[in-house]
Amino acid sequence: MSNIYQPTPENINKAAETIKNGGLVAMPTETVYGLGANVYDAQAVASIFEAKQRPFFDPLISHIAEADFLKTYAQTDERVMALAKKFWPGPLTMILKRKDNNSAIDLACSGLPNIAVRMPAHPVALELIRQSGVPIVAPSANKFKSISPTTAEHVRESLGEKVNMILDGGACKVGVESTIIDVTGKQVVILRAGGTSKEDLSCFLNEEVLLSDGTPDKPSAPGQLLKHYAPGRPLRINAATRQPGEFFIGFGNIKDADLNLSPKGDLCEAAGNLFAFLRLADKQEGYQSLAISPIPEQGLGLAINDRIKRASYK
């Protein structure tokens, strides 16, 4: 029996009850599918780490459905609330200082004094959070370090029956995870490039936004480990042409690509196709490795290059 459910009102209500009762629900967002649990239920959060085979030192993101709830959940100021009003719901996660020392969320925060929070731009996710009545902590719904899921079927292939319910909201529109920014200091710092561009953040704040790769062996936010989002075969990046035995993923005006992230060079289209194409390429028989064309280092290209760099790490 399949654990994939259409997001009818009845099934969303059933999924909310599953969250309340300590179960795991995979939910669609605009970025990738998330593996959700009640942030205040440490046993449920632990089951996320177990299902994903994810190390406990790698913190998780809490998802909320109302921007004003943030004030009760984390320490905020005018800049934080302005960012929330501008970019939420949407692919932006903020690292904030925790409001209190509630030990129930220690595991979700990996014991750190900060918490990662975002408001997803997907009606199914928002309704699930509202009906659950709690923030839902939800890393990508896949095995740790493997390719992120952008469809319900990707979740089923990766995690199978380890998930109580998978709500099928269709293919994810953005296709790469959220941008993570640290707003606990004087200057905003991007800890993970993602669906909100550095340019948009700098323009809104009217100041330079810094970029940091973090400390891979002691991550302060998700997605900072050197090896992540990886296919089962070696991946060569910035490839101008294919080499013998390679499955070649192109971008832009590339003639001999097996797949093309965006023939017209559209970074939004490329981001939306990235993980699905990596999965498809990894399933092809007769190839020893994968290769991918250069991607411009601007806009969403920053997030795409971050993902393929980590996916190719040896």
User: CB within 8 A of 101, min separation 6: which ones?
Assistant: none
Q: What proportion of the chain, given as a percentage, has pLDDT over 90? A: 85
CATH of span 4-172: 3.90.870.10
Alpha-carbon distance of 158 to 155, in angstroms, equals 5
Q: Nearest-CA neighbor of 140 among 175, 105, 104, 182?
A: 175
pLDDT of residue 220: 66
What is the topology classification, in CATH, of domain 235-311?
A: Rossmann fold (3.40.50)
Check: CB of residue 117 under 8 Å from CB of residue 61.
yes
pLDDT category at 215 given cuts 50, 70, 90 is low
Q: Nearest-CA neighbor of 145 among 212, 214, 211, 58?
A: 58
User: CB within 8 A of 68, min separation 6: which ones?
Assistant: none
| Domain residue ranges in the chain | 4-172, 235-311
The residue with greater pLDDT, 26 or 101, is 26
Alpha-carbon distance of 34 to 142, in angstroms, equals 8
The DSSP symbol for 208 reads P
What pLDDT digit, counting tens, does each position of 217-267 carry? 666 677 666 677 889 999 999 999 999 999 999 999 998 999 999 999 999
Distance between the two ends of the chain, CA-based, in angstroms?
Answer: 38
Angstrom CA distances, 60 to 31, 57, 116, stand at 15, 10, 7
Look at residue 214 and tell me whether its pLDDT is greater than 70.
no
What pLDDT digit, counting tens, does each position of 272-293 carry? 999 999 999 999 999 999 999 9
Q: Tell me the three state secondary structure of residue 209.
A: coil
Look at residue 3 and tell me whether its pLDDT is greater than 80.
yes
Q: How many residues does the chain have?
A: 314
